[in-house]
Amino acid sequence: MPINPADSPIMGTLYGSDAMRAVFDERAYFQRMLDVEAALARVQGRLGIIPDDAAAAIVAAARVENLRTDELAASARNVGYPVVGLVQGLSRAAGEHGGWTHWGATTQDIMDTATVLQVRAALALIRDELVGIIRALAAQAERHRATVMAGRTHLQQALPYTFGLKCATWLMPLVGHVTRLDQLRPRVEVVEFGGAAGTLASLGEQGLPVMEGLAAELGLAAPAAPWHVCRDGLAEAVSLLGLVCGSLAKIATDVILLAQTEVAELAEPYVAGRGSSSTMPQKRNPIASEYVLAAARTVQALVPVMQGAMAQDHERATGPWQAELLTLPQAFVLTHGALLHARAIAEGLVIDAERMHRNLDATGGLIVAEAVMMGLAPHLGRGEAHHVVKHACDRALAEKIGLAEALARESEVSAHLDRAGIERLTDPAAYLGSADLFIDRILAHAKPFV
């Protein structure tokens, strides 16, 4: 029975995805280790290091069905690593040629390279979902570039904004994350093959050709030297996941705040029963956003574990390496789950433009006080214009009247602006600055992925 909800057949539907769990499934991990052993045998057979018929036998035997779970568990419990049991099972399945398995390799070579193969597949899944969210948010930004709403700072209404710009702002860092992902892949998708202490001494002068051949066989890059204790690539991959989750958490936070009953400017996509309460029939909780936030907090807590595991002693670590195995799969599973939730939100957001307009008017025009101040500044100077408009705002609040009415009662204002001029300055849609241009610039930035 799973201990981590992300691996549960029930709770796992909320915390992860079957696709990402399949990448990091234990049985799949052992098959990837066998894939590395098979690739090693093929390379060494071509180079004449092991007999051709031995290489063929090892390749044919490198199937997870040939391993026994009970033997692997007993060996791992005794040895501390799973590869000794794996090699024993592979050698037995290869028959008389089994003595040529794992030639010149060490446990960490096989496990690290299998992990890299997992990460390669996992990063492809992450990238696909990031691009899907970018496309959905780009469409929302275009569709709502003229949907005016209240921009908020410190949770207070600040200036007029557009929902289109909000969506574009949500997607902007996601474009950066795809770029980061593409840039880091050559640094993490690297074969590991160094032998007992990173010198490949057991292979003599053929060590480097085997390492390069193994990399080519697996479609990975060959490092300048073995990276047994250089963990920056894997740490960078998980650090990227922390960044991705941070950006998703920003979206989820905004959605939760805008979905509050008193705000009600948008809602998560409606599905019958989704986000419902066991006791309150009226509830439609922003459940997807909540799980995005839960995943983000956990993934970001895992980043320091991976970065801390970079402090590896001498030529083979005593503990930090093992911590990676607890961290990396969980970070990928949770991130992919968060991405799936975020994509559903981005594609199906229910936007109430009328409510946005009503909320924009909730302050009786105070949200455009800066617009009036800037309109008066050429006549009065900025400082005096600020003082005059502040006095009008205080009057509006005290007397419960609109800002336009309060401004009309200020002699310093009426001396320079008639009522039509005041109405123009207090129109929220007329004070959006470069919002449209910013949307255009962000969408241009996202164009390669849309």
Contact criterion met (CB below 8 Å) for 170 and 177: no
| Encoded tokens for 169 | 């702002």
Q: Is 17 a catalytic residue?
A: no
Q: From CA 396, how far away is CA 360, in angstroms rounded?
A: 16
Kind and range of the H or E run holding 351: strand 350-351
Instruction: Give the pairing of strands 266-267 and 350-351.
Output: antiparallel
Q: From CA 201, how far away is CA 421, in angstroms rounded?
A: 85
- Choosing from 27, 77, 277, 441, which is the catalytic residue? 277
Q: From CA 151, how far away is CA 160, in angstroms rounded?
A: 5
- Tell me the residue ranges of DSSP E strands in 214-272: 266-267
Q: Which residues pair with 152 in a beta bridge?
A: 157
* Cβ contacts of 338 within 8 Å, gap of 6 or more: 244, 245, 248, 291, 292, 295, 296, 299
Query: Which residue in 156, 165, 219, 152 sits closest to 190, CA to CA?
Result: 219
Q: From CA 428, how far away is CA 48, in angstroms rounded?
A: 77
- Choosing from 127, 316, 395, 409, which is the catalytic residue? 316
For the chain, helix (H) and strand (E) counts, in that order, are: 19, 4
Rounded to 5 degrees, φ, ψ at 263 are: -105, -60
**Helices 207-218 and 26-46, interaxial angle, to 10°?**
130
Residues across the chain: 450
Contact criterion met (CB below 8 Å) for 265 and 149: yes
Q: Is 316 a catalytic residue?
A: yes
Distances (CA, A) of 164 to 137, 245, 376, 431: 9, 22, 29, 15
Q: From CA 144, how far away is CA 151, in angstroms rounded?
A: 14
Which are the catalytic amino acids? 277, 316
